[in-house]
Structure formats: structure tokens, C-alpha cells
Amino acid sequence: MPARRIIPCLDVKDGRVVKGVQFRDHRDAGDILEQALRYREEGADELVFYDISASADGRSLSRDWVKRVAAVIDIPFAVAGGLRSRDEAAACLDAGADKISINSPALERPKLIDELASAFGSQCVVLGVDSYARDGEYFVQQYTGRPDRSRDTGRRTLQWLREATQRGAGELVLNCMRNDGVRTGYDIAHTRDVVEAVTVPVIASGGAGSPKHFRDAFEAGASGALAATVFHDRLIAIPDLKEFLATCGIEVRP
């Protein structure tokens, strides 16, 4: 497996980076460009930007901040938020994004995955899934960027992810909602089940609180680990994290 990736997540709302707990009660976490530059300098492998309310608001993310980010950083980044068509995705890629990530729009119209993979290649198409445990199983949630619109789709997570990869999604971001922002660790059992169910890279998301949590996610088979709170609040420094992972025998990028 290639070197594992450390990926800060920047949730965007009203042009600012925000952070919540279990997808609620978001607080301001800084300027988009300042955060992007900081993470590039600290050694992040990639960045992910989510316009968290775009899908629920029925709009697409603003390409203006995508262009501004692309102008100042030289590491790959993905963007997400209300991308419902090939043209909207193309505009983000033209603005400088390396990947486009879709979640609720793909649930609205699964064929969107096929269309984007055909147009841009699976390597550019990331599927995010907000997974919630209920009655001993995991189900997909939709429109989670706005608590008043968030809903249970009734789709089982593993079934949806298998379908999405068959349609052409080249990478998956597994957002475990119960773990989000609480810093008790990733949902390792669920991450392992997803890794075993698909043939594309899986990015663990939700729950990082210590360097050991990243190690656990990688040992479960994750190709990357996404986190926000521990990086935004400077609880874990990326260079220190990479040094720790290397001592655990996990290959990371310099």
C-alpha cells in the first residue's frame, strides 16, 4: 500500500472554516486561506474542503474561494458541497481543485457518480458518506450540514458504498457521525468492514484525539486519516504525528 495520508478537513460555512461536534454546534475556526497555508507548511499530505450547508440549501459551493486556495498551496485538495452536475464539478476542477467529493447529491441521483467518473476519471471522484449506527447496523445520513434537514436515508452503508464504487467512485471518505469531534478514536470496526467491502482507498474520518487513533485507523486498512479538531486546536502537530507513525512502522510521506 502507498504511504498513508494525513488529511486535515476544513468545513466551510459563509466563507469561514468552522468546526462542530457530531455535525452540530459549529464554531468559527478561522480564515480559509490562513488555514490552508498553515497546513501546507506543517506537512499535510492533502486537504479537504466541505461547504457543509450547500447541499441542504440547494446550491453549489463558491468557486471563488477554490481559486484563492489553489493560488496559494501546492498540495492536492478536494472540494465538496452541492455539486450536482458535470458542469459544476468541471468548474471546481478548472478553478484548481484536484478532486471533487460528492455525498448528498449522489444519494439524490446515484447516476451522478457514473457521469463524473466518465468525464474526469475515477481518480478525481471521491464519495463521502455520513454513517450512523442504529440498531446494530450502519445507515447513511443525508443533508447533515444542516441539523434541521438531516435525515436517515434508510440505505445501509456497506450496500451504498459497494454500489458507489461499482459506479466509479475512486475513493471513499467514511464519516462516522457518532465519533465526530469527540476525540475518542475512529470507529475501527466499521472502518475495517468498509475496507474489506470495497477495492478503492478508504479515508477514515471522525473521532481522532491522539496519535494512537491514527495508527489504529491505518492498521485497520485505511489509506488516509482525516481530522479537524485536533489540528485546528493544535492538539496534535502534523510533524510529530508523522514521526510517531513512522516509529510504529507505518509508512508516511515526509
Q: Which residues does the annotation mark as catalytic?
A: 11, 130
Which amino acid is it at 147? P
For 176, 212, 218, 254, the CA distances from 43, given in Å and listed in that order, are 25, 19, 18, 8
Q: Enter the C-alpha cell of residue 157.
A: 452503508
DSSP 4: B
Pairing verdict, β 5-13 and 16-21: antiparallel
Burial class (CB in 10 A: 0-12, 13-18, 19+), 33: middle
From the list 163, 192, 154, 197, the residue with the least C-alpha distance to 176 is 192
For 16, 59, 109, 143, the CA distances from 200, given in Å and listed in that order, are 31, 29, 21, 24
From the list 46, 41, 54, the residue with the least C-alpha distance to 123 is 46
Q: Enter the C-alpha cell of residue 226.
A: 482525516
DSSP 182: T
